[in-house]
């Protein structure tokens, strides 16, 4: 007997209410195992892979890629094998028979229950399996056509942006020969058909209001997922916490020279030592001297809650928007451990695989907008935090060194730091001391040992 099981979209974060279906990794007719990845979804915080709670055959996908689904709604149906129909064989009589019946009933009940999922409770001993690469829907569509693949027997498979592009260009998808992996219609397929038909090319998500010159007048980008969450959080923070921002421009040549010396050490051979690692270390040391910076404002209790551990958030720009994963108990890490943690955090964020729990419980943040060539800015507090340090670009500039008769101009490494803080928790003196201490440790790293 076959049972049809529905898998409802779970809450994979902290009270999340919806998620977007990004990429299905299975299709109707596929046979899946427990804990095999079914789909990639984008929540308000990150990209998450959902494993299957059932083993069986995929019957139906209830949501297309690009669609936002509420938590609790069914997203996939899977046919699972049940007990065979017919009369069960007679069990031995007496106590032994009753014992056997109880054991069989327990086994049947266990088989009927969905297995716990990887990442959502205790795991099975079997490892999670993904579909073979040639059957997966690609995370990014190729920009050039790949060798032609055999057309699938069912409906043509493609992604929502490609379907929208075909609609804009007036291309019938059914007339195309798919060239993508597993028989998926790609953007290149649609553009090739457009060129053949002489139709003008346009980009997905555009609304052309003045088509006379062949170029769209505006581009509309849906606000959802990480970007939607970030926008709401920033508005809430900006209009809840009274921000104060202070700036300091400083010579960090001594820190840059220290970085070169440390990077040459054998024990740092495999460690990526960016200037941000030393800035983070100086900031953490300064926060130990101004513990009120590692606090949160409790509006309901009308209390300032000072925290013992510093969970250092590193703001990361990703294609899906801004995310701020944090390094737990960062003040306890040595320089090599901190550098490794920052590098791993950034790589995970860029891949879109940062789990929601990695972005929870942050206590302070660093935003390194200097990597974009920006001198300075006014960073907005991550909601619930008291301080955020903005780091500007590090450049060679003429700088006055020496005093009196020895005063002269020299090329030095110079940067600007910007500190925003919640004026409800920290007053001007505390904020100024935190920024001044951070700058002092970078001007002369030896001071951090005092």
The enclosing domain of 39 has a CATH number of 2.40.50.100
CB 69 within 8 A of CB 75: yes
Band (pLDDT 50/70/90 cuts) for residue 101 is low
Strand pairing category for 303-306 and 321-323: unpaired
118 in a structural domain: no
- Of the candidates 414, 410, 409, the one whose C-alpha atom is nearest the C-alpha of residue 376 is 414
How many domains does the chain divide into?
3
Give tens-digit pLDDT for 125-163. 333 333 443 444 433 333 444 444 444 444 566 665 667
Same domain, 92 and 146: no
Full domain range(s) for residue 197: 138-219
Residue range 363-386, pLDDT digits in tens? 999 999 999 999 999 999 999 999
Provide the terminal-to-terminal Cα distance of the chain, rounded to the nearest Å. 74
Query: Does 52 or 212 have the greater pLDDT score?
Result: 52
pLDDT of residue 116 exceeding 90: no
Who has greater pLDDT, 373 or 355? 373
Within a domain: 120: no
Q: How many CA atoms lie within 13 A of 41 on its CB side?
A: 28
Task: Give the whole-angstrom CA distance, residue 176 versus residue 341.
Answer: 47
**Cβ atoms of 184 and 177 closer than 8 Å:** no
The answer on 251 and 183 residing in a single domain is no
Q: What gap in Å lies between CA 311 and CA 274, rounded to an integer?
A: 20
Q: Count how many residues are written for the chain.
A: 450
Mark whether 252 and 392 lie in a shared domain: yes
In a domain, 165, yes or no: yes
Question: Which of 192, 219, 246 is the last residue before a domain boundary?
Answer: 219
DSSP, residue by residue, 289-336: H-GGGSEEEETTTTEEEE-SS--EEE-EEETTEEE--EETTGGG--HH
Q: Are residues 310 and 396 in the same domain?
A: yes
Flag whether 353 is in a domain. yes
Q: How far apart are CA 308 and CA 260, in angstroms?
A: 33
DSSP 248-260: EEEE-HHHHHHHH
Range in 70-79, 85-94, 275-284 with the lowest mean pLDDT: 85-94
Q: Are residues 214 and 237 located together in one domain of the fold?
A: no
The answer to whether the CB of 358 falls within 8 A of the CB of 326 is: yes
Residues designated as active site = 423
Give yes or no: residues 266 and 325 share one domain: yes
Residue 117 lies in a domain: no
Domain boundary among 219, 244, 259: 219
Asked whether residue 422 falls in the same domain as residue 443, the answer is: yes
22, part of any domain: yes
Within a domain: 127: no
């Amino acid at each position: 007997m076959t049972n049809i099981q529905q898998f409802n979209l779970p809450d994979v974060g902290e009270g999340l209410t919806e998620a977007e279906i990004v990429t299905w990794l299975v299709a109707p007719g596929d046979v899946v195992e427990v804990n095999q990845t079914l789909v990639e979804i984008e929540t308000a915080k990150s990209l998450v892979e959902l494993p299957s709670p059932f083993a069986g055959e995929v019957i139906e996908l209830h949501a297309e890629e690009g669609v936002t689904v509420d938590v609790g709604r069914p997203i996939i149906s899977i046919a699972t094998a049940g007990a065979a129909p017919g009369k069960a064989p007679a069990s031995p009589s007496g106590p032994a028979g009753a014992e056997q019946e109880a054991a069989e009933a327990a086994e049947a009940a266990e088989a009927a229950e969905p297995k716990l999922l990887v990442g959502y409770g205790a795991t099975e001993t079997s490892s999670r399996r993904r579909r073979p690469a040639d059957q997966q829907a690609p995370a990014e569509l190729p920009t050039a056509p790949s060798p032609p693949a055999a057309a699938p027997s069912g409906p043509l498979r493609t992604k929502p942006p490609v379907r929208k592009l075909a609609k804009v260009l007036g291309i019938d998808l059914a007339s195309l020969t798919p060239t993508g992996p597993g028989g998926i219609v790609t953007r290149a397929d649609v553009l090739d058909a457009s060129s053949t038909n002489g139709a003008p090319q346009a980009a997905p998500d555009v609304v052309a209001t003045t088509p006379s010159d062949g170029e769209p007048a505006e581009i509309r980008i849906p606000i959802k997922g990480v970007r939607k969450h970030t926008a709401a959080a920033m508005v809430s923070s900006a209009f809840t916490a009274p921000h104060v921002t202070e700036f300091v421009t400083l010579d960090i040549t001594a820190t840059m020279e220290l970085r070169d010396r440390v990077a040459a050490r054998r024990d740092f051979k495999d460690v990526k030592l960016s200037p941000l690692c030393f800035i983070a270390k100086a900031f953490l040391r300064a926060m130990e001297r101004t513990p009120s910076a590692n606090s949160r404002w409790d509006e309901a209790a009308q209390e300032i809650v000072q925290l013992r551990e510093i969970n250092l958030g590193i703001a990361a720009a990703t294609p899906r928007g801004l995310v701020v994963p944090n390094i737990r108990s960062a003040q306890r890490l040595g320089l090599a451990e901190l550098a490794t943690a920052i590098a791993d955090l950034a790589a995970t964020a860029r891949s879109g695989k940062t789990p929601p729990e990695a972005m929870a419980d942050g206590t302070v943040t660093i935003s390194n907008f200097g990597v974009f060539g920006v001198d300075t800015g006014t960073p907005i507090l991550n909601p619930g935090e008291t301080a955020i340090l903005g780091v500007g670009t590090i450049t060679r500039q003429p700088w006055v060194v020496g005093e009196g008769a020895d005063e002269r101009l020299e090329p030095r490494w110079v940067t600007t730091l910007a500190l925003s803080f919640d004026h409800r928790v920290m007053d001007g003196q505390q904020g100024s001391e935190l920024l001044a201490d951070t700058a002092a440790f970078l001007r002369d790293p030896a001071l951090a040992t005092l």
